[in-house]
Structure 1
């Protein structure tokens, strides 16, 4: 290690540095000791510029630290990285005083997740190459753990890339091609185009996309990692690549953000890539419906009635309540085709969930208490939080239609997220355990979150991976 290198050391929550004497020089120890007397010790991280080429970072670690806290510490450290001047950083693992296995791995993982940027369309790119090295003999990261961290990073970044792409690039045709490229990881992928979907009777999904010059697709992604032929677990995602609202047109302000209306599907695709990279020992299927909700002479009209794959008919009262139509066919098909142990769907489904929960929690709706608790616990562990919302038969009357089996919105008003979930529940025909995650407030962040720097968050990839690790693998 060069004398000019930047050093990361770990201390307790009171910033006691007595144990660091053997890792820094006497002059550095005295200098930092003096500065600590007037420092804000409530912070998680303090930095001390020793000279123009060296900075020493003190990272405060609480006694009851969790792995998610360590990832957040890594993300906070990332903010201090000086890409322009300081290229080499050394993490001294001998200063880690924690029983958390893979502490150093979680710290580096947090740095990596926070480092993501989407800048491929900028003509001038700043080269951001730095070196972060582990030194010391404590808390080495095993090969398996390195693979696990890499899988989460690649799955999350793939999901973020998909969500970040503009609508003129990532339309349904291109999206289907990108998913197909994942075959090289050992995933079995089937793409159902409009001709096949029409033959299957997926008129709810096809109706949403009929106003676009682009195709509409259902894509299934299978990972068979179990040694037996057990039924898979299933994840279903809404993939509306751009949502104008159709003839129930959205306001112009912020419509550009509707490129992220496919974030639920991106989570499913990113999760499947992650599982394939780390060779998960489980059978899993991901199913995504890919459409573009546009206005044209061929677009769906308010008042249209369509027959879904389930056989149930739907009156379209609002063409901007389109995600539930895509999911309706995808859910029934997933249940019938794969007979999964359970189904979790993800969608940026309603603005009402943002009114309810803001950008702190995603909404959880479920017909199964066990599955709901497993999801809540997994979300808490990785800090991708969920809040359970109600389902009840009394809400059904709000979506019953005089002209069809049901209507796609509640015109009475209120309970927007719940009636959307109640609508979806009607397409689970065989009482399969099911959960719906409304991630409208979590999929995209204007200001950045703990482990992302703003923009697409890949919310759900880490949550669902944790669910699989802890309860099903």
Structure 2
């Protein structure tokens, strides 16, 4: 889908006409009938025909409280009706502010996502252009909305990809191509280099797989200063069998999604580069496949880590925190960012706590927590802060190593995982951990099986923008 700016709408041709709840009066001049059976309720739409036989798609924006999720109503409209569109469509945007217009474009773009990439027979898509009618200067908004929606689709495709294709090496090649296309630097550390540099936790998790682990380091640094403003670290487990602590077979096929955090990191760096934000950002993805083999690491093992700390393995299914530990240690030792954020589909505990409506947020930085929370509400990718009380730290105690990777208790699992990660940040003052297990992948009105949501791209990109030089 491409987007262009026009000053006025051609009412003799097809167009999309947004309307707030109970505000039909504002658009009455565009209506072919005085009282359509439509009240502007959120995520509703109705087709009318103009006097020239053209289609007019009324789309409901709902009330003010729905502004944060306007992309959903545009995504639904396009998903359900675009098969009837010609190559050209118009959008009347005179009454949309910049945030609303950006959301509209994101939604239209998200509707272009094709989950059936691996079907032998696929419908051939039509390349369409949406002409956006507004008297305001909107070129930058159209670009940002387009790039954001496009990036969300790209990370959804990554998360939904099957694990026999989406190996750690595949993620590395994806990042290298992205870096070439979006003009940033990408370094992929493979097995020999990981061993040389001491990524022992990453290597331990990947020992049981024929698909060897990699660590991806993406750098977008347009500022003259060498100081890195933000470093993102993502969990990139391309398939999680649980290792020797093997998971039940029910829903095991969905464990291809255990690299949702890595997808957000890869996508955000790409999007920031496309938007040419004036900020230095580094993304680190620690990627491995947690498989079962004669060489798999075992419960009871003591492994090394990049930090030099030793870890007693209680449960091989608590592997995500191990690869993140090495990524965080690398970040604080070599990147030294002002802000350090890790993202991971880390625990079932956070899903049991918050369900599927918010990510678990862990940090000691109140200002950072407040900023991220406010952004989460603004873009409808919400976060909720969970405690990291000192008393929980006893769950990390090991008699034979510096710490253990799992408490074995049925309580406070998400906090236990967050405090494990905290052990590897060297008291970084601006660190945050986001557990996105409940929001990265799940039920969708656009697929019959569970699929990727695209959560995190808008949240983290808006945080990056809040720290960028104006």
Choose the corresponding residue for 1:29, options 28, 33, 38: 33
Other structure's SS at 2:155 match = helix
Extract unaligned runs of 5+ from structure 2: 1-8
Match of 2:318 in 1: 321
Separation in structure 2 between the aligned mates of residue 467 and residue 47 of structure 1, nearest angstrom: 36
Q: 1:8 aligns to what?
A: 16
CA distance in 1, matches of 2:48, 2:449: 25
**Correspondent of 1:97 among 92, 95, 98:** 95
| 8 A Cα contact 2:106 2:148, kept in partner | no
Q: What is the rounded CA distance, in whole Å, between the counterparts of 2:18 and 2:409 in structure 1?
A: 57
| 1:363–1:382 distance in 2 versus 1, CA, 3 Å | same
Q: Corresponding residue for 1:167?
A: 163
Counterpart Cα distance in 2 of 1:192 and 1:289 = 10
2:43–2:62 Cα contact (<8 Å) kept: no
Q: 2:17 touches 2:57 (CA, 8 Å); kept in 1?
A: yes
* CA distance, structure 1, for counterparts of residue 223 and residue 67 of structure 2: 27
Q: Is the 8 A contact 2:148 2:458 kept in 1?
A: yes
Match of 2:332, SS state, is helix
Map of 1:59 onto structure 2 = 59
Alignment correspondent of 2:213: 216
The match for 2:131 is 134
Q: Which runs of 4+ in 1 moved over 6 A?
A: 1-4, 451-454
Cα distance between partner residues in 1 of 2:71 and 2:396: 43
Please say which structure displays the higher CA radius of gyration. Answer: 1
Quote the Cα distance in structure 2 between the aligned partners of 1:165 and 1:472. 33
CA distance in 2, matches of 1:124, 1:47: 31
Matched length: 459
CA distance in structure 2 between the aligned counterparts of 1:249 and 1:417, rounded to whole angstroms: 20
Offset at residue 53 of structure 1 (A): 6.0
TM-score by length of 2: 0.90
Deviates more, 1:420-429 or 1:58-67: 58-67
Distance 1:80 1:55, change over 3 A: farther
TM-superposed CA distance for 1:10, in Å, is: 3.3
TM-score (norm 1): 0.89
CA contact (8 A) 2:42 2:61 kept: no
* Counterparts of 1:215 and 1:241, CA distance in 2: 11
| 1:404 aligned onto 2:401 | yes
Tell me, in whole angstroms, the C-alpha distance in 2 between the residues paired with 1:69 and 1:297. Answer: 48
Deviations, residues 144-201 of structure 1 (Å, cap 9, x unaligned)? 2233223323322221121111110011122212212223122112222222222222
Which range is displaced more, 233-242 or 154-163? 154-163
SS at the partner of 2:258? helix
Match of 1:243 in 2: 240
Report the counterpart of residue 104 of structure 2 in structure 1. Answer: 107
Aligned partner of 1:150 in structure 2 is 146
Please, which of 333, 337, 340 is the counterpart of residue 340 of structure 1? 337
Instruction: Give the superposition deviation at 1:261.
Output: 0.5
2 CA distance for matches of 1:338 and 1:357?
32
Report the aligned-residue RMSD: 2.7
Whole-Å separation in 2 of the counterparts to 1:131 and 1:183 = 27
